[in-house]
Amino acid sequence: MDAVELTRQLIRFETVNPVNPEKDCVEYVGKLLAENGFDISYHDFAPGRTNLIARIGGSETCPPICFTGHLDTVPLGHTEWSMAPFGADIADGKLYGRGSSDMKSGVAAFVAAVIEIAPDLAKGPGVVLLITAGEETGCEGAAYIAGLGDVIGKSGAIVVAEPTSNYPYVGHKGALWMKATTDGVTAHGSMPELGVNAIYKASRAITKLEDYDFNVARHPVMGPATLNVGTVDGGINVNSVPNRAEIGIDVRTIPGQDNEVILEQLASYLGDEVTLTPTVNLEPVWTSPDDPWMQSVFEVVAPLHDGPIENRTAAYFTDASIFTRAYDFAPTVILGPGEAAMAHQTDEFCYVSRIEEAVGIYRALAENWNNQ
């Protein structure tokens, strides 16, 4: 199977989250896998928001290797594209289109790789593919299928095909996004003494957050935990005392931190004037570079890069926040053909050569796992 052509087919499905459901695109992939001997099942977390689980092989002594990726994309943005965003055109060695890097090329590459060697995989521990919907808005699809009991089964190692230019990343920070709400009492703007200004409460909270210290040591690879106030909204008109304000807070966590504990600490720090509600709650992902399986991944990809493999982590979050824990902290690598810098960009593209390269990487990882 040609992974580049498969990527082009997937790009032509408009799967912009949340306005274009993933169902048709996911079922297209499912049909290909079923035709090549995979057992498949579909799981919708909302109408049209379809996840796919596909399996081949099986062993009583060794669980399968897992490949995972999502098929939803972000919107196109307000800037006009110079290339058709769903045309999947190729120019100068680049495949253009929304989702080309993030991350339909990664899904296409691992699907093509395992189909190529499906007869051999059927005789060993095999593979499980978790192809999700709703990743871009907080890993909803992954959380849904991971919560269905034994539906996802077991896995001994996880490959997340997010964009890394085919460089192996050993983890990423967690994400704790919160809505901080302050309430007041409305009044006429000419008589503010009769009201309670919710924006003033919010401003006091923002000032406190600017100086917040997590009081934890930096991670040797990921660096420090971070906090950013990204949005502020309050009031309905200039001549009224606002009775509500909302702040959007983005916390990125590192291994050793617990998101629930952080939520409690921030609530205590901000005090009774502020109500915190989490909107995204994803834990960090980390596999020691010294893990034997991670070392075997490094060996596979090292010839494709100059010099020894360095310890790197992704800046973004992935479905691994869900699946690594669901699979009992199986070693997890983030490794895909897309360009991380092109994710969510106007005129998003992926290098054609990276897609072809990724097929070889994924095939080698699957073969190595099944031959152990």
The residues, any chain, with a CB within 8 Å of residue 162's CB and separated by 6 or more, are 69, 102, 103, 106, 314, 316, 318, 334, 336, 338, 340
pLDDT in tens, 117-174: 999 999 999 999 999 999 999 999 999 999 999 999 999 999 999 999 999 999 999 9
- The structure tokens listed for 260 are 């629930």
> Which H or E element spans position 268?
helix 259-270
Handedness of CA 263, 230, 100, 288 (dihedral sign): negative
Distances (CA, A) of 36 to 57, 113, 122, 305, 363: 12, 12, 11, 32, 16
Average pLDDT, the chain: 97
Q: Which domains does the chain have, with CATH numbers?
A: 3-172+284-370 (3.40.630.10), 174-282 (3.30.70.360)
Closest CA to 322 of 63, 92, 134: 134
309-331: pLDDT as tens digits: 999 999 899 999 999 999 999 99
* pLDDT attached to residue 353: 98
Contact yes or no for 171/332 (Cβ under 8 A)? yes
Instruction: Note the pLDDT tens digit of each residue in 278-310.
Output: 999 999 999 999 999 999 999 999 999 988 999
Over range 107-112, report the average pLDDT.
98
Closest CA to 59 of 151, 113, 121, 102: 121
User: 372 pLDDT band (50/70/90 cuts)?
Assistant: confident
Query: In whole angstroms, what is the distance from residue 35 CA to residue 38 CA?
Result: 7
